[in-house]
Structure 1
Amino acid sequence: MAVTVETLEKLERRITLTLAATVINSEVESRLKKLARTVKADGFRPGKVPMSFVAQRYGAQVQYEVVNDKLGEAFSAAANEAKLRVAGMPSIAQKDEAAEGELAFDATFEVYPEVKIADLADTEIERVAAEVTEEAIDKTVEILRKQRRSFAQRGAADVAADGDRVTIDFEGKIDGEPFAGGKADGFQFLLGEGQMLEAFEKAVRGMKAGESKTFPLAFPEDYHGKDVAGKEADFLVTVKKIEAQHLPDVNESFAKALGIKEGTVEALRADIKKNLEREVKFRVLAKNKGAAMDALVGKAELDVPKSLIAGEAERMVANAREDLKKRGIKDADKAPIPAELFNDQAEKRVRLGLVVAELVRSQNLQAKPEQLQAHIEEISQSYEKPAEVVRWYLSDRERMAEVEAVVIENNVTDFILGKAKITDKQLPFDELMATA
């Protein structure tokens, strides 16, 4: 029997589904009989509960389940017969009128759109590149030194200077009144490393242990604490202890402590360079991938199914709640997070996914087995035991699916960059690393 598909607007469609009452009743009876074998009721032995009792207690629930199952089967068959690519779940409502002996339902749903991608030849894309310089290696060495620094208490006559770790008590007031977060005892911070506001550090700089000072501090307009942002406070600070830092020398002992087998400074710098080059490669790839994807979406014409946007927004809400849970937020799974907050971002994700899928299909950009293997091996090189990492990926379908998605994105990026007008730009190392 031919399926009649009604077009409502853009991607929205409607079809009518009919179910024979005899089929529904027969399946309900069959399920109730099966249920009667295991159902328990006071006064009856297992398997001896009367069918009338089972039907009275479970009949409505079983009928609901049967109708839903049969509707799912009917909808799937109708969509296949009409060769429809259904996007999201259908909304099904029972009709008031139906032929005798039948139940009729309207199924309203969306279909996947036709995606048209214009010629990419006139698309302009800025492709970035970056190099690992000796200066970048030097900065990384300094970071590693600071991670392994030690501290020794200064003398009573010494004053706090940049690089020192100071322990202080402080209390701040606005218009003579204390405010939340404005008081602490035994608080430690490293002077001169931007851990505190500059005005606070300036006040502590030059103080001695046991000394107290009162000073004004103006909070910036964009300060993260909204209650005090843009306001001026008076702080009383007392320095309890000053400790001078000691950075380890960059020598063979330092290199060995960092796990460098050769134990030489040259080998340490070579290892740092290798790791930085790997990080630079991934960051450059991410920036160029973003530019390529933006250009691709800009060349695409399509309507985006509302149901897919809603589904993506709900997934983003679930991810947000999971993130809150990981941060230790109480009742994070019940947090009132409106899905509407994510609609714009969800729409962008869905649009990009549809356009990428079309380009992959039309240009045969699927991931090849050798590409998957190469990508996993590249990831594994940043771990101590690469072979175990490779096995870890290959043993799990979900992890392999993630790898496949990345490889496909890389294929799409390479395809776009190969078609577009490219302008190359060399990014300074620090600028690249500062980007998210």
Structure 2
Amino acid sequence: MSATVEQLDNLERRLVVSVAWSDINAETDKRLKATARRVRIDGFRPGKAPLKMVASMYGADIQNEVLNKLAQQAFQEAVAEHGLNVAALLRVDGVEDQAEDAADFQAAFVFEVFPEVNIGDLSALEVEKAVTEVGDAEVEKTIEILRKQRTRFNRVERAAQDGDRVIIDFEGKIDGEPFEGGTAQNYPFVLGQGQMLPEFEAGVSGLKEGESKEISLTFPEDYHGKDVAGKTAVFTISLSNVAEPELPEINEDFAKALGIENGDLTKMREEILKNVSREAKRRIAGKNTETVLAALHKHVPLTLPRALVDEEAQRLAEEMRENFVRQGLDAANLNLPADMFAERAQANVALGLILPVLVKEHKLQPDDAQIKAIVSEFAESYEDPQEVVDWYFADRERLKEPTNMALEANVVDFVFGLAKVTERSVSFDELMSAN
């Protein structure tokens, strides 16, 4: 067996392997004989059919299997011999002008190799580090959010105003004809929260129970419903219920509803501070990880294997389809062109090449103590933290997420330790509202 390597374009290579026909024929004959011993052919007892007949029936398929097997073996041996780091096999071509009496069979393997990754001097990097503070003010904001989540609505007989929950029937028409999604009965929403278009909410505001009103509104040009975007509709609205909000008082009952058994408000605030601090820490870590990974991607220029980028783009598209399905949407015929995911796919592939080199060169693999610390943080919010820790460590597969988090934390800390870092204070509201 022999092989020659040709560079085609950037990372693309063409490797021509040769396999002796004597080896191919010997392996083919061996398989034919093995097939003849077990095959059943009408008119013959098992294993008694003439070899020529078996060859005429199965010989071509067997020879193709042998050709594929020996060519693949030759390819793998040549890859090892030439020290090639194959990223993806693109195709296998036939070699033209092979003489019928040639001693060897030739096949051309076209593939992409991984690029060489050179991390370079990280001290030249300029990165922004997000920081935040969590204190009494943030605890009080969280308490207000928790109160609003437990809002009760009490029926009133006055006119509807911002903050009220209203229940309405409505029917919309465009050019006198009803349209899809333009009609509903017993539809509840809270005025002033932007759940409906401003003109629609303005039409409901001021109505009392039992009153009706006709309004005209024009849908925005960029409205998500393409069939009605930019068009003017006339809605007939009937209001059947107005209810004003009532927030719970901050007392023992409120604390007990949050899981504080004795209703101690001091204990409640301590628990909220602990939980909010943990969540803020997680979100800040996420922001800083994104910043560092983006900086590494920009810092290390790479020519990427196209096949890997295409494969990642397809994976991201399929992931989005699955998310839509989980949300109850019909994504079977959803067209998600790969171009939508090209930029993200390129970043993912690039980082998939950069990070292993960085981790290996600078020994950034997390140790067991780091992984356990992250698992312990996960477990803090549960009633029996040790039970959660034991569950994670009972199966190494469950430790993948905390292991990856520890690895990312090591990378972030390492880069921050070398780069030129500028701190940016992130407000609590900005941090908690970010997706």
95-104 or 105-114, larger mean C-alpha shift? 95-104
Question: 2-side partners of 1:383 and 1:319: how far apart?
Answer: 30
Question: 1-side partners of 2:291 and 2:248: how far apart?
Answer: 42
Q: Mark the CA change 1:234 to 1:357 in structure 2 (over 3 Å): closer, same or farther.
A: same
Superposed displacement of residue 417, structure 1: 0.9
Match 1:131 to one of 106, 116, 133: 133
Superposed displacement of residue 404, structure 1: 3.0
Match 1:113 to one of 94, 104, 115: 115
Q: TM-score, normalised by structure 1?
A: 0.88
59-68 or 125-134, larger mean C-alpha shift? 59-68
Superposed displacement of residue 289, structure 1: 1.6
Contact residue 223 and residue 230 of structure 1 kept, 8 A: yes
Per-residue CA shift, 1:387-417, capped at 9, x if unaligned?
A: 3433443344444344333322221211111
Q: Mark the CA change 1:208 to 1:315 in structure 2 (over 3 Å): closer, same or farther.
A: same
Question: 1-side partners of 2:133 and 2:382: how far apart?
Answer: 22
1:251 corresponds to = 251
Contact residue 172 and residue 183 of structure 2 kept, 8 A: yes
Q: Mark the CA change 1:223 to 1:337 in structure 2 (over 3 Å): closer, same or farther.
A: closer
Question: 2-side partners of 1:42 and 1:325: how far apart?
Answer: 52
Letter in 2 for 1:346: A
**Residue 433 of structure 1 pairs with residue 435 of structure 2:** no
1:9-408 alignment to 2 at 5 Å?
Answer: 9-31=9-31, 58-96=58-96, 97=98, 100-154=102-156, 157-330=157-330, 332=332, 335-408=334-407
Superposed displacement of residue 430, structure 1: 0.6
Per-residue CA shift, 1:279-318, capped at 9, x if unaligned?
A: 1111111111222222222221332122221221222233
Contact residue 3 and residue 81 of structure 1 kept, 8 A: no
Letter in 1 for 2:354: V
Superposed displacement of residue 273, structure 1: 1.7
Question: 2-side partners of 1:22 and 1:137: how far apart?
Answer: 80
Question: 2-side partners of 1:258 and 1:48: how far apart?
Answer: 81
86-95 or 102-111, larger mean C-alpha shift? 86-95
Contact residue 172 and residue 182 of structure 2 kept, 8 A: yes
Letter in 1 for 2:102: E
Superposed displacement of residue 31, structure 1: 4.6
Contact residue 117 and residue 301 of structure 1 kept, 8 A: no
Letter in 2 for 1:339: A
Superposed displacement of residue 36, structure 1: 6.4
Superposed displacement of residue 208, structure 1: 1.2
Q: Mark the CA change 1:232 to 1:337 in structure 2 (over 3 Å): closer, same or farther.
A: closer
Letter in 1 for 2:381: S
Contact residue 152 and residue 247 of structure 2 kept, 8 A: yes
Q: Mark the CA change 1:37 to 1:413 in structure 2 (over 3 Å): closer, same or farther.
A: farther
Superposed displacement of residue 106, structure 1: 1.0
Letter in 2 for 1:248: P
Superposed displacement of residue 275, structure 1: 1.6
Letter in 1 for 2:94: Q
Q: Mark the CA change 1:337 to 1:196 in structure 2 (over 3 Å): closer, same or farther.
A: closer
Gaps of 5+ in 1: none
Contact residue 119 and residue 299 of structure 1 kept, 8 A: no
Question: 2-side partners of 1:384 and 1:220: how far apart?
Answer: 49
Question: 2-side partners of 1:182 and 1:381: how far apart?
Answer: 47
282-291 or 112-121, larger mean C-alpha shift? 112-121
Superposed displacement of residue 56, structure 1: 5.3
Aligned CA RMSD, in angstroms, stands at: 2.9
Question: 2-side partners of 1:375 and 1:398: how far apart?
Answer: 15
Question: 2-side partners of 1:284 and 1:165: how far apart?
Answer: 35
Q: TM-score, normalised by structure 2?
A: 0.88
Letter in 2 for 1:367: P
Per-residue CA shift, 1:55-93, capped at 9, x if unaligned?
A: 555554444443333333222221111111111125221
Contact residue 3 and residue 18 of structure 2 kept, 8 A: no
Per-residue CA shift, 1:245-284, capped at 9, x if unaligned?
A: 4333222222222222342222222222212111111111
Q: Mark the CA change 1:3 to 1:23 in structure 2 (over 3 Å): closer, same or farther.
A: closer
Letter in 2 for 1:378: E
State the aligned residue count. Answer: 433
Letter in 2 for 1:409: E
Gaps of 5+ in 2: none
Q: Mark the CA change 1:175 to 1:4 in structure 2 (over 3 Å): closer, same or farther.
A: same
358-367 or 334-343, larger mean C-alpha shift? 334-343
Percent identical: 45
Question: 1-side partners of 2:107 and 2:58: how far apart?
Answer: 24
Superposed displacement of residue 184, structure 1: 0.9
Q: Mark the CA change 1:22 to 1:299 in structure 2 (over 3 Å): closer, same or farther.
A: same
Letter in 2 for 1:123: L
273-282 or 258-267, larger mean C-alpha shift? 258-267
Letter in 2 for 1:349: N
Contact residue 89 and residue 110 of structure 2 kept, 8 A: no
Q: Mark the CA change 1:138 to 1:39 in structure 2 (over 3 Å): closer, same or farther.
A: farther
Per-residue CA shift, 1:322-375, capped at 9, x if unaligned?
A: 22332344573x655433432232112212222222222222222223222222
